[in-house]
């Protein structure tokens, strides 16, 4: 994928990470053996046992009840979600394999979203690192911890394209871009699953939510999505196709409707695309009670109808609800479904269990992390932090500074620091910013007050103490943002401003005249334009996980250098949403010259272009944006040749110089648009490659990207996927808003 060449780096950007990270092809003999074993077992199974395999339960508490033990003996359940203790899972598996009629093992699933016991930054934060290898390593560490506790299946990665920060589940996403999400999602899959599914440390990954969940109307969770097929295929399905090609073991359906059809009962998505076009032979599991949600959608008349529609669409396993087990026998008797359709789903489930080695003596692994998880967590938290503002180079702070004031409840809140979906977090592994700063500087040099009880607190009772310690300090670290409970599933927000009395707190603290550095912990992009204007520096740390504290402390004092870059565009105001970089132009596009000028009134708008009359059309911070403690200078983009043939490739390159005083990493990005004059309008820019480059102070490197014609393909016409001939533009740039393009002609 990447190899050194004289004069710089060559990055073969479009040979997807699916090639880089794909599991080795299964041995043909082993595959044939699995199919024979599946067929032999399927012939022995009763209808009830088949329906049991198609059912996943959350009913296994600790200790296991006699009722559940008996159900396991009877083959009632094929899988358990979030079930019991490690000891309970071992006992349940023993019963399934030794005391049930056919000895079919259980598969235990868990929401291992961004870590298991050691929690890494939320996925949106991880994506800001743009670091495939490190993200893969974090998933590997999570797999080592989870498989040691008898977990076989992680319901991650979430690779929904997220372009609306009101949606709470953007925290679980990898951002707004399909190429970047494909790359990083595939890296996660490789980390979870390892080199072979049947290894003791392999954690089956689950690509979710298939599909269009991130396009929910108004950013309201579970809501409808209306996506034209070209947009569906070009944007929302691309990461899922990449996951399929990376060897992901399972897919999960989405809660939402797509163009009026619930995704959990959509044969176009599940049969035509996933099974027929992509040849996926793994397990498709519904989301939590998504089958019976079909009734509330108005799509199914009752649970019986929901079971029929979901099976025919291609859902193999039902999560939590029991429509399959309760109604499939009567559907069979009424000839509403066929046994062959049930057998197909059971075959997929048994195949996964054989691939995982569950029939062949697989046991929980020994935890092999050896303390590496915390090291990885800190490095990933460090690379995830995005420096948004640094007026007069106030950061990094001088280590010899006398006294700092640390203000805000999020400075010392492990539960908020780890973020959403961290149910198994080991609190003892979480080190807060306050604790890390005290350890670094000594408790006597760090004064602290929360000022607010939580980020949502509207009381100003704690402001007096905050003002006192700020006035006595040489610099203030003001921790702002949103509590973990404000992001994640069912946590959509209509307003994206800092909640509670935080803005009032900022106003009071900046009145002291001391340098004030805002450090924002959040699960989504927030709108804080006026706040940012008042602060001397702004760091966006997301919910950074267990080691967020040391990562932030070392960044603040220059022991490490910020390198994170945004993977979602930050709106200036919620009224701009949705706002994303890869938008289409219009017949009357706004122009840069209009920025910051009076925009008229409703009665007399200034000019007639596609923008608002009361706010600039650009985002507050664009996709790919992020500052450093040094400066990078990009030379003009250039190409190895001006024309590309159908079978050839073009090398696009630029020289990147570290013009500043510190060694640092830069994330170099390749964007392309076009063709101009093709059969469909195309986005103004699309990410086609990226590379993290380390540059010493004063050093220059040439970063090269190799692009083939196939890398420029897109859907057009009657769902034709190809690169049309014509004139394209390409940029090598530090973010999606900068760079000078060159023209490339594709024959």
Give catalytic residue positions: 287
| Long-range contacts of 277-282, Cβ-Cβ distance < 8 Å, separation of 24 or more | 278/241, 278/244, 280/244, 280/251, 281/348, 281/351, 282/248, 282/249, 282/250, 282/251, 282/348, 282/351, 282/352
- Whether 238 contacts 278, CB under 8 Å: no
Within its chain, how far is the Cα of 287 from the centroid?
Answer: 17
Rounded distance between C-alpha atoms, residue 170 and residue 568, angstroms? 9
- Whether 543 contacts 487, CB under 8 Å: yes
Q: Which of 483, 576, 571, 494 is nearest to 532 (CA)?
A: 571
DSSP secondary structure string for all residues of 93-112: HHHHHHTSSS-PPPEEEE--
3 state DSSP class of 277: helix
Rounded distance between C-alpha atoms, residue 725 and residue 728, angstroms? 9
HSE (side-chain half, CA atoms, 13 Å) at 472: 14
Rounded distance between C-alpha atoms, residue 87 and residue 95, angstroms? 12
Write phi, then psi, for 150 (nearest 5 degrees): 80, 20
Region label for 109, one of left (φ > 0), alpha (ψ between -120 and 50) or beta (otherwise) = beta
Rounded distance between C-alpha atoms, residue 62 and residue 87, angstroms? 9
HSE (side-chain half, CA atoms, 13 Å) at 82: 13
3 state DSSP class of 701: strand
Spell out the alpha helix ranges (H) of 74-224: 86-98, 123-127, 132-148, 178-193
- Whether 121 contacts 172, CB under 8 Å: no
List the structure tokens of 328: 């499939």
For residue 574, what is the DSSP state? Answer: G
Q: Which of 538, 533, 501, 503 is nearest to 518 (CA)?
A: 538
From the CB of residue 21, how many other CB atoms can be counted at a distance below 10 Å? 24
Spell out the alpha helix ranges (H) of 385-432: 414-418
Burial of residue 134 (number of CB atoms within 10 Å: 0-12, 13-18, 19+)? buried
For residue 724, what is the DSSP state? Answer: P
3 state DSSP class of 280: coil
Rounded distance between C-alpha atoms, residue 395 and residue 643, angstroms? 45
Rounded distance between C-alpha atoms, residue 700 and residue 659, angstroms? 9
Q: Which residue, chain included where needed, has tokens 């059971």? A: 346
Angstrom CA distances, 428 to 114, 431, 662, stand at 17, 8, 34
Pairing type for strands 386-390 and 537-540 reads antiparallel
């Amino acid at each position: 994928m990447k190899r050194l060449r004289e004069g710089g780096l060559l990055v073969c950007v479009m040979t997807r990470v699916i090639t880089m990270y794909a599991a080795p092809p299964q041995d043909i003999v082993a595959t044939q053996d699995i199919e024979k074993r599946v067929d032999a077992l399927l012939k022995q199974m009763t209808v009830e046992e088949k329906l049991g395999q198609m059912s996943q339960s959350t009913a296994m508490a600790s200790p296991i009840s006699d009722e559940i033990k008996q159900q396991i003996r009877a083959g009632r359940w094929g899988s358990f979600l979030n079930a019991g203790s490690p000891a309970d899972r071992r006992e349940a598996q023993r019963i399934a394999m030794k005391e049930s009629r056919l000895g079919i093992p259980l598969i235990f699933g868990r929401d291992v979203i961004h870590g298991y016991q050691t929690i890494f930054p939320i996925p949106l934060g991880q994506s800001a690192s743009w670091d495939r290898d490190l993200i893969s390593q974090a998933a590997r560490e999570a797999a080592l911890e989870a498989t040691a506790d008898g977990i076989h299946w992680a319901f991650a990665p979430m690779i929904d394209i997220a372009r609306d920060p009101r949606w709470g589940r953007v925290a679980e996403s990898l951002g707004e871009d399909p190429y970047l999400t494909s790359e990083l999602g595939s890296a996660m899959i490789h980390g979870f699953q390892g080199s072979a599914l049947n290894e003791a440390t392999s954690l089956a990954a689950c690509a979710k939510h298939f599909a269009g969940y991130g396009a929910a109307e108004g950013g309201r969770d579970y809501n409808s999505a209306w996506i034209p097929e070209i947009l569906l295929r070009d944007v929302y399905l691309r990461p899922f196709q990449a996951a399929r090609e990376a060897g992901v073991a399972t897919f999960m359906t989405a809660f939402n409707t797509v163009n009026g059809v619930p995704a959990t009962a959509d044969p176009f998505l599940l049969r035509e695309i996933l099974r027929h076009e992509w040849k996926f032979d793994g397990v498709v599991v519904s989301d939590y009670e998504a089958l019976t949600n079909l009734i509330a959608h108005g799509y199914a008349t009752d649970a019986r109808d929901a079971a029929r529609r979901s099976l025919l669409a291609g859902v193999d396993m039902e999560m939590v609800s029991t429509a399959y087990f309760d109604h499939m026998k009567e559907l069979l008797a009424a000839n509403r479904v066929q046994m062959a359709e049930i057998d197909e789903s059971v075959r997929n489930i048994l195949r996964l269990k054989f691939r995982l080695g569950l029939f062949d003596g697989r046991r929980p692994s020994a935890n092999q992390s050896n303390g590496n998880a915390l090291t990885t967590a800190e490095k990933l938290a460090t690379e995830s932090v995005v420096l948004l503002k640094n007026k007069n180079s106030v950061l990094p702070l001088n280590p010899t500074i006398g006294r700092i004031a640390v203000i805000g409840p999020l400075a010392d809140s492990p539960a908020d620091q780890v973020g959403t979906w961290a149910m198994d977090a080991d609190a003892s592994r979480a080190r807060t910013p306050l604790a890390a700063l005290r350890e670094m500087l000594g408790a006597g040099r760090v004064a602290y007050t929360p000022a607010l009880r939580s980020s949502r607190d509207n009381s100003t009772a704690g402001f007096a103490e905050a003002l006192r310690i700020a006035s006595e300090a040489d610099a203030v670290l003001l921790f702002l943002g949103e509590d973990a409970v404000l992001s994640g599933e069912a946590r959509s927000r209509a307003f994206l401003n800092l909640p509670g009395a935080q803005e009032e707190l900022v106003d009071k603290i900046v009145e002291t005249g001391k340098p004030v550095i805002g450090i924002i912990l959040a699960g989504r992009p927030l709108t804080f334009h006026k706040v940012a204007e008042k602060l001397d520096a702004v760091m966006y740390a997301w919910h950074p996980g267990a080691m967020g504290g040391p990562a932030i402390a070392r960044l603040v004092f220059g022991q490490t250098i910020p390198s994170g870059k945004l993977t979602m565009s930050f709106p200036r105001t919620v009224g701009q949403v949705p706002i994303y970089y890869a938008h289409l132009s219009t017949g009357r596009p706004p122009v840069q010259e209009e920025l910051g000028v009076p925009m008229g009134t409703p009665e007399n708008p200034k000019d007639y272009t596609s923008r608002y009359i009361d706010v600039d059309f650009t985002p507050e911070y664009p996709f790919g944006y992020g500052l450093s403690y040094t400066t990078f200078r990009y030379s003009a983009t250039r190409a190895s040749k001006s024309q590309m043939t159908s079978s050839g490739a073009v090398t696009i390159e630029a020289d990147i110089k570290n013009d500043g005083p510190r060694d640092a990493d830069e994330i170099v990005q390749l964007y392309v648009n076009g063709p101009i004059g093709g059969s469909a309008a195309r986005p103004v820019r699309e990410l086609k490659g990226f590379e993290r480059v380390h540059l010493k102070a004063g050093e220059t490197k040439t970063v090269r990207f190799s692009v083939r014609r196939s890398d420029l393909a897109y859907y057009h016409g009657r769902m034709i996927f190809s690169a049309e001939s014509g004139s394209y533009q390409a940029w090598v740039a530090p973010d999606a808003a900068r760079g000078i393009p060159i023209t490339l002609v594709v024959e």
